[in-house]
């Protein structure tokens, strides 16, 4: 869009987007009478097409339109022509619509019905003036950036001139020696400060390093400064005070005005002059180097440039050490990631082996019994036994497949929220788990007060979670023992616990038992069956309800798993 001038409405092009013909016509006629040039569009799609074809100074857009509504038009224009003023003409009467429109990029708004047409002219003139001021601001910023580049080039030229002088070269050589010797960061910084104090005839100095995470400069080393100052010195935000401005601009500074700088004022009683230079590593500023003097002194460009060159060398050295430290941390993190990948690969292999084992054994039994039934020769009792065993094993295979597919469904299917009665939930979970207790004689005991209120949740998923906990408890409990499921109520939660008297879980294993495919004994020859999915399924179902699942256990003393589910509505 061409630059907006301040010569008044004559010739200014206004695009009107409204699906009501009478409003379009009224707005167009009014603005035309005011010497504007208008173009109209009957809907959002046509309006966007017109906006992209022509150069407009402002756009009036209705919010409620078919096909493409006003909010979509505003968002598209903000992305494509951010400097184009867009005014909302809202007839909804809902303040939130106007707020959302302005959040999307609208500059101003007019409410319908429009009782005073002159309001339109006032709003348009106001946004056109804002657009003009923005254009002037951008031009000014461009000129300032160009000026900054010219100033930096001048500083670089003066620095090269200073490097040609013998006295400065000697000082730089002394500083270079202190910086280039392979040392730890603290020793290098202290030696560099000593060299800078000597080169500038200073009495004290300090290095502040920039923390990129907070954009603050923190003291990393110092020489000759009062302990009281160091004890109370705070981190300096980037851009604040002389030190913060040097770090932001990348230009060294010197002076004697301590009192008016909050960060230097504590040094005012003992010192009366200062020099500060950035620590530069290429185009990056990593900190500042500051020198203070007790005497009141002025500094020419040579002295300031000398400290700047020391700062440049020190900046490169600091960046090199920081890079080495970052590289070492990255290597440690990489090794940790590789170890985690190896662990996950082991889990995957164990999972494949376990699934194969869990499939092979029952399939072999089913196959054998089916062949015996097919060959005949079994009396009725033997046939019934064969059918019962085959049926039980097939149900086990179905449970295995359902466990695997349940994890996929958890990621893809939303919860079906309804009011869940705790007593009914416990009864359903126990019925699902009773098949596993027939051969072992394990008793499933429930302790659920009948007056506990229902709570919001997905009944089917929660029953699956409890079934997985009951199945896990029965699997690791001795024959004839008791597994107890208890329900309690607090003002904000429903607490459901499953306690067994099984083998227990060590603290080391407790950190991993809720991971997918993890098993305490992952080998194919392990004593207990399963694929390592049950507890992971229970955890993900509970967390999908905004709840938590925890375990308390010690080896040989059994385990208690507790579900904590919120009673508040699930969003």
Which tens digit of pLDDT belongs to each residue from 237-267? Answer: 999 999 999 999 999 999 888 888 889 999 9
Query: What's the pLDDT band for 354 if we cut at 50, 70, 90?
Result: low
Are 559 and 430 found together in one domain? yes
Q: What is the pLDDT of residues 131-177, one digit of tens each?
A: 899 889 989 998 888 988 888 888 888 876 655 456 566 766 766 76
Query: Coil, strand, or helix at residue 64?
Result: coil
Task: Return the CATH number at 122.
Answer: 3.40.50.2300
Task: Return the CATH number at 542.
Answer: 3.30.565.10
In a domain, 488, yes or no: yes
- Tell the residue number behind the tokens 């505003």, with chain if given: 74
How many whole angstroms from its chain centre is CA 474? 41
Residues in contact with 22: Cβ distance below 8 Å, sequence separation at least 6, in sequence order? none
In a domain, 382, yes or no: no
Which tokens hold the place of 450?
A: 């009948």
In a domain, 191, yes or no: yes
In a domain, 334, yes or no: no
Which tokens hold the place of 556?
A: 């040989």
Structural domain boundaries, residue 239: 183-327
C-alpha 288/C-alpha 315 separation (Å) is 8
What's the sign of the alpha-carbon dihedral 150, 156, 157, 162? positive
In a domain, 348, yes or no: no
Which of residues 298, 327, 356 is at a domain's end? 327
Contact (CB, 8 A) for 464 and 425? no
Are 280 and 203 found together in one domain? yes
- Cross-strand bridge partners of residue 276: 253, 290
Which tokens hold the place of 495?
A: 């607490």
Are 421 and 478 found together in one domain? yes
Residue ranges with strand state E in 393-492: 418-420, 443-447, 455-457, 482-489
Are 423 and 528 found together in one domain? yes
Closest by Cα among 2, 12, 3, 77 to 38:
12
Q: How many domains does the chain have?
A: 3
Task: Return the CATH number at 189.
Answer: 3.30.450.40
Q: Kindly report the pTM of this predicted structure.
A: 0.39
The per-residue DSSP string of 474-514 comes to: HHTSPTT-EEEEEEEE-SSEEEEEEE--SS---HHHHTTTT
C-alpha 465/C-alpha 488 separation (Å) is 17
Are 221 and 293 found together in one domain? yes
Q: Strands 86-90, 108-111: parallel, antiparallel or unpaired by DSSP?
A: parallel
Are 451 and 542 found together in one domain? yes
Q: Strands 58-62, 13-17: parallel, antiparallel or unpaired by DSSP?
A: parallel
Which tokens hold the place of 54?
A: 């022509």
C-alpha 242/C-alpha 321 separation (Å) is 26
Which of residues 327, 362, 392 is at a domain's end? 327
Which of residues 103, 138, 173 is at a domain's end? 138
What's the sign of the alpha-carbon dihedral 498, 501, 506, 507? positive
Task: Tell whether the model's pLDDT for residue 7 goes beyond 70.
Answer: no
Which tokens hold the place of 91?
A: 């007839």
C-alpha 551/C-alpha 562 separation (Å) is 6
Are 418 and 557 found together in one domain? yes
Are 18 and 117 found together in one domain? yes
Are 95 and 195 found together in one domain? no
Contact (CB, 8 A) for 145 and 125? no
Are 124 and 199 found together in one domain? no
Q: What is the pLDDT of residues 498-535, one digit of tens each?
A: 999 999 999 888 888 888 767 665 443 344 555 668 89
C-alpha 30/C-alpha 34 separation (Å) is 6
Task: Tell whether the model's pLDDT for residue 488 goes beyond 70.
Answer: yes
C-alpha 368/C-alpha 374 separation (Å) is 10
Task: Tell whether the model's pLDDT for residue 106 goes beyond 50.
Answer: yes
Question: In this structure, which long-range contacts are made by residues 333-339, counting pairs with CB atoms below 8 Å and at least 24 apart in sequence?
Answer: none
By CB atoms closer than 10 A (0-12, 13-18, 19+), residue 289 is buried
Q: What is the mean predicted confidence (pLDDT) over 542-554?
A: 94
Q: What percent of the chain has pLDDT over 90?
A: 43
Q: What is the pLDDT of residues 374-426, one digit of tens each?
A: 887 778 887 787 787 777 667 666 666 666 666 666 767 788 999 999 999 99
- Tell the residue number behind the tokens 């981190």, with chain if given: 235
């Amino acid at each position: 869009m061409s630059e907006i001038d301040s010569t008044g409405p004559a010739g200014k092009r206004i695009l009107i987007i409204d699906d009501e013909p009478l409003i379009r016509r009224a707005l167009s006629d009014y603005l035309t009478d005011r010497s504007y040039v208008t173009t109209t569009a009957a809907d959002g799609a046509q309006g966007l097409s017109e906006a992209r074809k022509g150069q407009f100074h402002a756009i009036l857009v209705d919010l409620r339109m078919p096909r493409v509504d006003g909010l979509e038009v505003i968002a598209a224009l903000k992305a494509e022509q951010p400097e184009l003023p867009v005014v909302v003409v809202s007839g909804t009467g809902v303040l939130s619509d106007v707020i959302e429109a302005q959040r999307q990029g609208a500059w101003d708004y007019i409410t319908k019905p429009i009782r005073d047409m002159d309001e339109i002219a006032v709003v348009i003139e106001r946004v056109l003036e804002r657009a003009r001021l923005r254009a002037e601001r951008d031009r000014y910023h461009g000129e300032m950036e160009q000026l900054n580049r010219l100033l930096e080039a001048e500083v670089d030229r003066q620095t090269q001139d200073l490097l040609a002088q013998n006295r400065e070269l000697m000082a730089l050589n002394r500083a270079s020696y202190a910086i280039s010797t392979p040392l730890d960061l603290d020793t290098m910084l202290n030696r560099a400060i000593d060299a800078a104090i000597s080169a500038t005839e200073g009495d004290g100095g300090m290095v502040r390093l920039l923390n990129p995470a907070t954009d603050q400069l923190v003291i990393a080393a110092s020489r000759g400064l009062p302990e009281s100052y160091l004890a109370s010195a705070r981190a300096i935000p980037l851009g604040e005070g002389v030190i913060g401005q040097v770090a932001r601009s990348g230009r060294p500074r010197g002076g004697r005005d301590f009192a008016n700088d909050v960060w230097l004022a504590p040094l005012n009683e003992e010192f009366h002059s200062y020099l500060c230079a950035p620590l530069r590593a290429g185009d990056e500023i990593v900190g500042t180097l500051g020198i203070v003097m007790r005497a009141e002194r002025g500094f020419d460009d040579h002295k300031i440039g000398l400290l700047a060159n020391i700062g440049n060398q020190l900046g490169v050295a600091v960046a090199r050490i920081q890079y080495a430290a970052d590289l070492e941390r990255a290597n440690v993190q990489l090794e940790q990631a590789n170890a985690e990948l190896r662990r996950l690969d082991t889990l995957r292999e164990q999972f494949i082996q376990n699934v194969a084992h869990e499939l092979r054994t029952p399939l072999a039994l089913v196959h054998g019994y089916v062949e015996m039934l097919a060959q005949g020769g079994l009396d009725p009792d033997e046939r019934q036994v064969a059918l019962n065993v085959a049926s039980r094993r097939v149900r086990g295979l179905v449970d295995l497949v359902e466990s695997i597919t349940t994890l996929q469904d958890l990621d893809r299917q939303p919860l079906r929220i309804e009011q869940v009665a705790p007593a009914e939930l416990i009864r359903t979970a126990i019925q699902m788990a009773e098949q596993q207790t027939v051969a072992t004689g394990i008793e499933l005991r429930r302790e659920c007060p009948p007056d506990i209120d229902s709570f919001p949740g997905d009944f089917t998923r929660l029953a699956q979670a409890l079934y997985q906990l009951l199945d896990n408890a029965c699997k690791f409990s001795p024959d004839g023992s008791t597994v107890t499921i208890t329900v309690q109520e607090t003002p904000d939660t429903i607490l459901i616990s499953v306690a067994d008297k099984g083998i227990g879980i060590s603290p080391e294993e407790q950190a991993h038992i809720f991971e997918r495919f993890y098993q305490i004994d992952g080998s194919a020859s392990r004593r207990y069956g399963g694929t390592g999915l049950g507890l992971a399924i229970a955890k993900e179902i509970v967390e999908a309800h905004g709840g938590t699942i925890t375990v308390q256990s010690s080896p040989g003393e059994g385990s208690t798993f507790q579900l904590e589910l919120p009673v508040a509505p699930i969003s």
